[in-house]
Amino acid sequence: MTKQEKINNFNPNDIGDAENNIFGLPFSPDEADLVIIPVPWEVTVSYSAGTAEGPAAIYEASYQVDLYDANVPDAWKKGMAMLPIDEKIAETSKKLRKKAEKYIDMYASGKSADKNKTMHLIQKEINEACLNLNNKIKKDALKWMNKGKVIALLGGDHSTPLGLIQALAEQHDGFGILQIDAHADLRIAYEGFTHSHASIMYNAIQIPAVKSLVQVGIRDYCEDERKLSSTDQRITTFYDDQIKAQQYAGETWDSICKKVISKLPEKIYLSIDIDGLDPKLCPNTGTPVPGGFEFEQVVYLIHALVKNGNTIIGFDINEVAPGNDEWDANVGARLLYKIGNLCLVSHDK
């Protein structure tokens, strides 16, 4: 059956069909315009674990999402499909997470990898495994990009999208990153792990094709990160407390969104850490922080970005931890659907 035949035979108003792909959509990755790479990985998380379960939980919750999107008529016809979850990645993550916990406990007690053999060996093993993961994601992303697909990545912790960003750098001369997050993620090899979830944006701006980084909603950061964001001309940070102060003084969210967009080039990579939202929307995420955005504020910003004519060349959603209920995954699934639709609109797909 062709894609068009599947569209003709599909009822978007019906209950989600668990025999189909994500959101109950009838498309295979080869037929979909947007291909989602799930990465069940959380080795270097420094507080609460659970994000490795994010992709599976979001996939399950996606069947409860109504497919009608008022911003994008007939959005479901564009086609999204998630690749199978790689259980080898999940198993490696689980094994190395236990070692990382031992390492972090020793690190917190004042020991260092420079002087402790056990810590040195764990650090080396984890850094190598993270590098291998990034290389695999880059290879997988390029495979689908070369087929004309737009790629999204679903974590896992926030270290996971580096390989996708590297893949995009091979196909685009220059682009900016729009980061929605509670944390700056500009630490250098946090806790000794080169590819820590707290180092993703520092690592990303080492890529020559990344011309700018615009951070929105940041409210938890260290002094070194603040200094870097204020001295590196490529970085613009819209801190959460400053955004709130402007709103309390009467400035509209629309006006603030225009300021954010003005700092971005035409091509954008979008990176969303779920903890950029108000913690009531993601209570089980690894490092929740008071403050943050409402769901519709984030959707409004991305919608404004697309209306402005910017192209979202790829995106990720990370740090969704399901906890003991489906709430976080429910929010994550709905955010994935909205952003995925807007991403495809930005490509005129």
Q: Render the burial of 30-49: b for 16+ CB within 10 Å, e for the rest.
A: ebbbbbbbbbbbbbbbbeeb
CA dihedral 264, 270, 276, 277 (to 10 degrees): 110
Does 349 score more than 80 pLDDT? no
Instruction: Tell me whether the omega of the peptide bond preceding residue 156 falls within 30 degrees of 0, making it cis.
Output: yes
CA distance 293 to 216: 10
**234-261: pLDDT as tens digits:** 999 999 999 999 999 999 999 999 999 9
| Domain 3-346 coded CATH 3.40.50.880 | no
- Per-domain boundaries in the chain: 3-346
Q: Once rounded to an integer, what is the mean pLDDT over residues 187-203?
A: 94
For residue 73, the model assigns a pLDDT of: 84
How high does pLDDT run on average in the chain? Answer: 96
Amino acid type, 332: G
CA distance 119 to 106: 8
Q: What is the pTM of this model?
A: 0.96
